[in-house]
Amino acid sequence: MFLGLDVGTGGTRVVLVDKTGALIASASCEHENFRSPQPGWAEQDPQDWWRAAQKAIRDTLAQTPGAQIQAVGLTGQMHGAVMLDKNGNILRPSLIWCDQRTQPQCDWLHAQFGPGNIGREKLIELTANPALPNFTLTKLLWVRDHEPEIFARIAHVLCPKDYVRFRMTDTYAIDVQEASGTLMLDVAHRRWSSEVLKVAGIPESWLPRLFESTEECAHISFEAAELTGIPAGTPVVAGAGDQGAGAIGMGILSPGSVSATIGTSGVVFAATAAPTLDPKGRLHTFCHAVPGRWHVMGVTQSAGLSLRWLRDTFAPGIDYDELTAGAASIPPASDGLLWTPYLLGERTPHLDPEARAAFVGIHAGHTRDHFVRAVMEGVAFSLRDTFTLFSELGIPVKGVCLGGGGARGILWRQIQADIYNHTVDVLKAEEGGAFGAALLAGVGCGGWANLDEACAAAIHVANQIPPQPEAVNRYEKAYQAYRAVYPALKNIHA
């Protein structure tokens, strides 16, 4: 068996996968500690991730007595900043991926490389990405500016899943895919950027050793073996951030293969043979979890979160199936009602943490069902913005595979096919990042020769959904209107 562990935002999930690629057992444990001391701030206690990981591992292993774990792979929420002292003790709660407080530090960092757009373009040249509030480095700079007594005690910096690995193995390690989201990696050459670290004042000694995602990097310690039930000495591979591992779990390995995933956030992910840079920084360019490949991705901050917000605010207690059933009776484009899903600001394509969500075009004939459908369409329009950038940059799209909650509902599947104007694939079982981490573990210990072989064994398409020509035409007009909303409202929000 190969064990995959996913340190998510809301909880930790563990899966066991066998050598045929079948899911044998799984368990989850919710996280208990989430803090937002001020609007736009988001923090979690890393110790809570480790508590949840222990329970989820024990609960999974209890379902399969006698299972022989050949290797462990890890994945998790990206961009978090876990700060430890020289003894490995946590110095403060982790600033996680959706924390938006660091725009001043982003501006400062760009200015260190040159005035105006020159500094921004130089940083993109060095790291393949501009400075954004989500990235680990800007969080460290915020701590430097606001909590200097803590900054002075930092000896190690880790991302969330890598902190859990540290507790499992007493090893400081990170994979190049995850490290791409720190803003401290030379993505093109898959190594830490000494120039960026020097300008930012971050010692390279703080950073963990880099590995490719399938490389063995550590072994389960005796202490962790007692706490989890995984035998001491079991190999642990480097793994990947949630988007990299999720792509492996969906078979997005080769150039032209694309996934569109709607979870709390939404991501359109495309594999590439070489680093492909967006000069304006609207897309992330990262190392892929596949050695020797890269990927680009666009991110919608509030994808599934938009539908959850609508339900919790206006229809509490109603399940999603009931909420969306009525929306299926509403025509495509929701009779002119538009939703821009900027509840947490927006990354792609606006790079604007101050962007705000809006319903536009409300009239007296609109019902709750219109608002539900408009939210689902608005999320898909936002993800289509990434496809628009792919076209602009010459990134091929040969097929689209759907993942996350947006792949489970019939209506949202069809909306995506129509708005992207691509036939979309739905997998027989889309198990998320933990499944991809288990496949990485299997390759790392020799269970499969490579990731192509692992994905061929484990991943199968259940059905394909083609776009509907009439809906495509309606959505094309609605998308042009959607694209006009952000610039029209930007000054009001400012």
- Tokens 């501009």 sit at which residue? 130
Mean of pLDDT values over 295-304: 94
Q: How many CA atoms lie within 13 A of 416 on its CB side?
A: 33
Q: Is 397 exposed, middle or buried (0-12, 13-18, 19+ CB in 10 A)?
A: middle
Mean of pLDDT values over 255-278: 94
Residue 359, phi then psi, degrees to nearest 5:
-95, 135
Question: Coil, strand, or helix at residue 73?
Answer: strand
- pLDDT above 90 coverage of the chain, percent: 91
Question: Coil, strand, or helix at residue 154?
Answer: coil
Which residue is catalytic, options 6, 48, 162, 242?
242
**Cα 96 from chain centroid (whole Å):** 12
Q: What is the pLDDT of residue 417?
A: 97
Whether 208 and 201 have beta carbons less than 8 Å apart is answered as: no
Tabulate helix, strand, coil % of the chain (nearest 5): 40, 20, 35
- pLDDT above 70 coverage of the chain, percent: 100
How many Å apart are CA 226 and CA 318, to the nearest integer?
42
278 is catalytic: no
- Over residues 410-420, the pLDDT tens digits come to 999 999 999 99
Whether 128 and 285 have beta carbons less than 8 Å apart is answered as: yes
Q: Which residue has the higher pLDDT, 462 or 408?
A: 462
How many Cβ atoms from other residues are within 10 Å of residue 410's Cβ? 11
CA distances from 208 to 7, 95, 204, 240 (A): 18, 18, 9, 14
How many Cβ atoms from other residues are within 10 Å of residue 273's Cβ? 12
The answer on pLDDT for 330 being more than 90 is: yes
pLDDT band at 430 (very low <50, low <70, confident <90, very high): confident
Taking alpha carbons only, the member of 163, 331, 344 closest to residue 264 is: 344
Q: What is the pLDDT of residue 204?
A: 98
Mean of pLDDT values over 62-85: 96
- Over residues 129-141, the pLDDT tens digits come to 999 999 999 999 9
Where are the chain's structural domains?
Answer: 2-244, 252-430+460-494
Q: What is the pLDDT of residue 404?
A: 86
Domains 2-244 and 252-430+460-494 share a fold: yes
The answer on pLDDT for 19 being more than 90 is: yes
- Over residues 99-142, the pLDDT tens digits come to 989 999 999 999 999 998 899 999 999 999 999 999 999 999 99
How many Cβ atoms from other residues are within 10 Å of residue 62's Cβ? 11
Q: Which residues in 365-445 belong to E strands, given as ranges?
A: 399-404, 424-427
Q: Which CATH number does 2-244 carry?
A: 3.30.420.40
Q: What is the pLDDT of residue 321?
A: 93
- Helices assigned H by DSSP within 185-233: 194-200, 222-228
How many Cβ atoms from other residues are within 10 Å of residue 492's Cβ? 8
- The Cα diameter of the chain in Å comes to 66
Q: Which CATH number does 252-430+460-494 carry?
A: 3.30.420.40
pTM of the predicted structure, to 2 decimals: 0.91
Q: How many CA atoms lie within 13 A of 167 on its CB side?
A: 22
Whether 181 and 80 have beta carbons less than 8 Å apart is answered as: no
Whether 216 and 235 have beta carbons less than 8 Å apart is answered as: yes
When the pLDDT of each residue in the chain is averaged and rounded to a whole number, the result is 96
Structure tokens at 71: 């290797």
Cβ neighbors of 437 (< 8 A, separation 6 or more) are 4, 5, 6, 73, 74, 75, 239, 240, 245, 248
